[in-house]
Amino acid sequence: MNWEPVIGLEVHVQLLTNSKIFSGASTAFGSDANTQACAVDIALPGVLPVMNKQAARMAVKFGLAVDAKINRRSVFARKNYFYPDLPKGYQISQYELPIVGEGHLTIDIDGGEKTIGITRAHLEEDAGKSLHEDFHGMTGIDLNRAGTPLIEIVSEPDMRSANEAVAYLKKLHTLVRYLDICDGNMQEGSFRCDANVSVRPVSQQKLGTRTELKNINSFRFIERAIEYEIERQIDILEDGGTVVQETRLYDPDKGETRPMRTKEEAHDYRYFPDPDLPPLELEDTFIEATRQTLPELPDAKQKRLMTQYALNREDATQLTVSKELADYFEAAASATKGDAKTVANWINGDLSGYLNKENKEITESPVDAQQLALLIDRIHDNTISGKIAKEVFEAIWHGEGNADDIIDNKGLKQITDTGAIETIIEEVLAKSTAQIEQYKSGQTKVFGYFVGQVMKATKGKANPQQVNEILKRKLDA
């Protein structure tokens, strides 16, 4: 039987507010345990929550960016459960009336587009952390994170493969960073994902029984976890079994998911409206003012780059992964006399490779946009070949100066003197009688050998176009 996976994601996005969602304590990451938890965060008797307007603004910003309905009135509710890192014994969240209603996000997949529905996004507070190590069999509680604002973004079950889920997650990741509402740091837990996964026979409408995968904190793991889970469920069904509705944890070390709790063990959260917080009422003026703060969004930017710079979809998509990368591209493209496509190739190729290797962000690149533009200028005006440019790029990366300095210092200027190239070609041909024979007998593939020899003799500096022309002329004579 052919099976179709059905996937929906719940993404927790920590908002980049200065203070917590219901208290004045700082939200900075990495401080000593419990130094950023005030009376409200540790739930002392008598304390009360006060809504952080900045968090509402960020949630609205997100809603507008996914073309969602912004609810003028949303309601905070208490989600009740006992856990040591949940100081009040309940989490303040939104339940029946979230701040952001239905919206959608478009992902690029298999060379095309697909729209993924967003069910809702609601504001809530994060819990603290339980620390199970270093306490000699006891558990430590760090409440610094308690009260950090989150939006939980719930998607429709619109994804049909792990690949699509990752594309959606990456798009969301890109978006929240464009909006400057989340730092997107998955290691530190600023951007977390739970996945609901089920499978059904291809032609069936009814959804299969789903499992919820928790604790997946990288794009790679999410892909593996979903793939593993799809396989696991198909195996069960093909063996005539039934999938149990349950929550499962992904173990990145073993690359598998394992049961955490079943439906029967699920909490009854006893949601009810929080009487300490009046409903969150948003004025139209607030929403409009927030709309004015929206930057150019990834989709719009991608389309603009395609038309303005004549880029293909793939290049434009890659360049718009982050706003900073797109800014870098535009700065370089407008500074160089070379064409934008070359700039895109350099950024998506060599530059990305170097950045990845050293785990750097584009903003940390030792080669800035102006330096890349100059390098591309020198290819454009035939001072160096594209191949030599790679060597120059490496030198710029390592801080040896700008393109012109390096070309001068290393004597990398391209040989474009036809006479000089002819002389070298003749020397090469004189030593290659056997290969000439081959060429003449129709094995034209050997042409590459001659080019190689000429380049070797000139240390790669001969203008490749001229070399080709002269060689062809001489051999075909």
Does residue number 80 form part of the binding site for another protein (CB under 8 A)? yes
Which position among 8, 87, 149, 208 is part of the footprint of another protein (CB under 8 A)? Answer: 87
**Considering the complex, what minimum distance in angstroms separates the CB of residue 289 from another protein?**
22
**Considering the complex, what minimum distance in angstroms separates the CB of residue 268 from another protein?**
5
CA distances from 466 to 178, 418, 436, 462, 473 (A): 46, 7, 19, 8, 11
Does residue number 141 form part of the binding site for another protein (CB under 8 A)? yes
* Residues from 263 through 292 that contact another protein (CB under 8 A): 268, 270-272, 275-278
* Residues from 305 through 324 that contact another protein (CB under 8 A): none
Considering beta carbons, is residue 56 or 297 the nearer one to another protein?
A: 56
**Considering the complex, what minimum distance in angstroms separates the CB of residue 41 from another protein?**
11
Where do we find the tokens 């039987």? 1
* Residues from 333 through 392 that contact another protein (CB under 8 A): none
Rounded to whole angstroms, the Cα distance separating 230 from 228 reads 6
**Considering the complex, what minimum distance in angstroms separates the CB of residue 84 from another protein?**
5
**Considering the complex, what minimum distance in angstroms separates the CB of residue 251 from another protein?**
23
CA distances from 453 to 91, 228, 279, 305, 459 (A): 72, 51, 78, 41, 10
Which two structure tokens, joined as six digits, stand for 322? 């982050």
**Considering the complex, what minimum distance in angstroms separates the CB of residue 325 from another protein?**
41
Considering beta carbons, is residue 135 or 456 the nearer one to another protein?
A: 135
**Considering the complex, what minimum distance in angstroms separates the CB of residue 50 from another protein?**
5
Among 4, 30, 399, residue whose Cα is nearest residue 189: 30
Which position among 90, 328, 346, 450 is part of the footprint of another protein (CB under 8 A)? Answer: 90
* Residues from 419 through 448 that contact another protein (CB under 8 A): none
Considering beta carbons, is residue 51 or 234 the nearer one to another protein?
A: 51
Q: Count residues binding another protein (CB under 8 A).
A: 29
**Considering the complex, what minimum distance in angstroms separates the CB of residue 278 from another protein?**
6
Considering beta carbons, is residue 42 or 375 the nearer one to another protein?
A: 42
Among 422, 418, 341, 407, residue whose Cα is nearest residue 371: 407
Would you say 413 and 455 are in contact if contact means Cβ atoms under 8 Å apart?
Answer: no
**Considering the complex, what minimum distance in angstroms separates the CB of residue 144 from another protein?**
14
Does residue number 84 form part of the binding site for another protein (CB under 8 A)? yes
* Residues from 17 through 56 that contact another protein (CB under 8 A): 39, 42-51
Which position among 20, 61, 78, 378 is part of the footprint of another protein (CB under 8 A)? Answer: 78
Which position among 18, 28, 73, 89 is part of the footprint of another protein (CB under 8 A)? Answer: 89
Dihedral pair phi/psi, residue 340, rounded to 5°: -65, -35
Considering beta carbons, is residue 80 or 352 the nearer one to another protein?
A: 80
**Considering the complex, what minimum distance in angstroms separates the CB of residue 361 from another protein?**
39
Does residue number 145 form part of the binding site for another protein (CB under 8 A)? no
Where do we find the tokens 């063990």? 265
Interface pattern 188-227 for another protein (x via CB under 8 A): ----------------------------------------
Which position among 1, 30, 82, 112 is part of the footprint of another protein (CB under 8 A)? Answer: 82
**Considering the complex, what minimum distance in angstroms separates the CB of residue 154 from another protein?**
20
Interface pattern 224-253 for another protein (x via CB under 8 A): ------------------------------
Considering beta carbons, is residue 5 or 128 the nearer one to another protein?
A: 128
Does residue number 294 form part of the binding site for another protein (CB under 8 A)? no
Q: Which residues contact another protein (rule: CB under 8 A)?
A: 39, 42-51, 78, 80, 82, 84, 87-90, 139, 141, 268, 270-272, 275-278
